[in-house]
Amino acid sequence: MPYEPVLLARVNKPGSHALDGYRADGGYATFEKALKDLKPEALTAQVKDSGLRGRGGAGFPTGLKWTFLPKDHPGPVYLCVNADESEPCTYNNRVLMEKDPHQVLEGVLLTCHAIKSQKAFFYIRYEYGDAFRAVQGAVDELYAAKLLGPNVLGSGKTFDVVVHRGAGAYICGEETGLIESLEGKRAWPRIKPPFPAVEGAFRKPTIVNNVETLACVTQIVKRGKEWFQSLGVPPDPKNPRDAGSYGPKLYTLAGHVNKPVCVELPMGVTCRELVEVHGGGVWKGRKAKAVNPGGLSMGYLDVDAPLKGGADGQTEYDIPLDFNGPGRVGCLGLGTAAVTVIDDQTSMVDVLHNTCQFFAHESCGQCTPCREGTGWMLKIVDRMRRGQGRKEDLDILVDVADRIGIMPGTTICGLADGAGWPVKTAIRKFRAEFEAAIRSGERSKYAKSLAMAGAH
């Protein structure tokens, strides 16, 4: 039986962004009931027990994060909505904000009730003009309907939402970088601890959740934790650290596919099914060579490499896109579930050059290993792209990629890990292609086109 979307159920309805249409579909009834019947602790327990994990990239258990707030803190306590969707080829949050902002805002109100917060800051990526206008319009509607402001629904409680446009930088998606930017400062991530739940925005306890996570909160409270756990992948009994991959997920497809699309499916769909069925396959009758399974920072799959521990004939193309699947083949994780396909006629040297160029530009410069390491990697790959690479460059690139990041303990945030993972997975999995490019000493097609453009 085909899966029936929940998070995207309303996006194709006329006026799906408007309050009248949302309330006609039962919108805010869940919040009204929770405000009346559920104490904050019970609401937190419901989300925690559902197994919801953050959809922003790290996959941390959402309800558990809420419990990190100090008990009996005098306040204020803040919620920050992370809508700084800057991971390349990711656009699932944008769809929700533009087409169904009230579903997200109901999740914001439910979360504020759960964490005893009176104010939420909705931090939207600067480049998302349409999303900003849709969310701001929805917030204005809620104030007009007295669903925001003092004494909401006669509860005696105040809820406010402030919509804030971001600073136009990738680093603002890191939760403490986002908080610094929100406070009007340069978006330099903070050293942790203290974590935001203890000392966040304006030095007050703060929970940071992303847009899709909050939409899931709306559906969990509306439909129940049993419904949520009926979808996705349960925990691996052999892995005590596996918290499961429950619920629906928004996957985005981009790159060399016939049908770039944002699609909602239960967690755990395979990469092959997502591309071949929901994306209509690889464009121009070509074959896939590499796939980025969850945003640029997650690294690359080799679609022809046998899947270790898989059935006969299975390759890395067949990994499940849940929180554990990409890690089985050396990727950093599921990330944002933004799948990008690279066809078999595209140079991995060019792909890696674009990747390194992005991260070198977006490094905030606070940590020396990241600031210098991303620049070094770009210079090496750029030289390789211009036909001047050396064989030892490949080992140097992998060494730099292995040594920078929060995981080896050399940086404050994970941007350097995200910069290093695509480098080391590309070279380790497609080394023969890189070596052949170095031996040929030829400039890549992209480099040649740039040279020709310069000549004219």
- CATH fold for domain 348-455: de novo design (two linked rop proteins) (1.20.1440)
Q: How many residues does the chain have?
A: 456
Q: Express each pLDDT in 228-278 by its tens digit.
A: 999 999 998 888 888 899 999 999 999 999 999 999 999 999 999 999 999
The pLDDT of 133-161, averaged and rounded, is: 97
Three-point CA angle 452, 454, 456, nearest 5°:
75
Give the whole-angstrom CA distance, residue 233 versus residue 323: 9
Q: What per-residue confidence (pLDDT) applies to 240?
A: 85
User: Which of the following CATH numbers is that of domain 247-343: 3.40.50.1100, 3.90.700.10, 3.10.20.600, 3.40.50.620?
Assistant: 3.10.20.600
* Residue 450 in this model has a pLDDT that exceeds 90: no
Which pLDDT tens digit goes with each residue over 360-372?
Answer: 999 999 999 999 9
Identify each DSSP E strand in 293-441 by its residue range.
301-302, 338-343
Check whether 416 has a pLDDT greater than 80: yes
Average pLDDT, the chain: 95
Q: Where are the domains of the chain?
A: 19-230, 247-343, 348-455
- Looking at the predicted structure, is the pLDDT value of residue 451 above 80? no
- 6 pLDDT tier (thresholds 50, 70, 90): very high
pLDDT band at residue 12, thresholds of 50, 70 and 90?
A: very high
Task: Report percent pLDDT > 70 for the chain.
Answer: 97
H helices within 67-128, ranges in order? 92-99, 101-115
DSSP 153: G
Main-chain phi, psi angles of 79, to 5 degrees: -110, 130
Q: What is the CATH number of domain 19-230?
A: 3.40.50.11540
The pLDDT, as a whole number, for residue 454 is 66
Q: Which residue has the tokens 């992948």?
A: 233
Across the range 112-126, mean pLDDT stands at 98
At 91 the pLDDT is 96
As beta bridge partners, residue 250 has: 264
* Tens of pLDDT, residues 198-232: 999 999 999 999 999 999 999 999 999 999 999 99
Residue 177 predicted with pLDDT over 60: yes
56-60, 220-224, 330-334, 350-354: the lowest-pLDDT one? 56-60
Q: What proportion of the chain, given as a percentage, has pLDDT over 90?
A: 92
Instruction: Show Cβ contacts of residue 13 under 8 Å, excluding neighbours closer than 6 positions.
Output: 21
For residue 441, the model assigns a pLDDT of 86
pLDDT at 447: 67
Q: What is the pLDDT of residue 97?
A: 98
pLDDT band of residue 455 (cuts 50, 70, 90) is low
Give the residue-averaged pLDDT of 371-392: 96
pLDDT tens-place string over residues 17-45: 999 999 999 999 999 999 999 999 999 99
Q: Is the pLDDT of residue 456 over 60?
A: no
Q: Using 50, 70 and 90 to split pLDDT, how confident is the model at 58? A: confident
Confirm if 303 and 316 have CB atoms less than 8 A apart.
Answer: yes
Average confidence (pLDDT) over 420-429: 98
CA-closest candidate to residue 416, choices 379, 377, 383: 377
- Across 76-91, average pLDDT: 96
| Confidence at residue 57, expressed as pLDDT on a 0 to 100 scale | 84
Average confidence (pLDDT) over 113-124: 98
Among 122, 109, 121, residue whose Cα is nearest residue 155: 109
Q: Confirm if 126 and 85 have CB atoms less than 8 A apart.
A: no
145 burial level (CB within 10 Å; 0-12, 13-18, 19+): middle
- What pLDDT shows up at residue 322? 96
**Helix, strand or coil for residue 389?**
coil
pLDDT greater than 70 at residue 100: yes
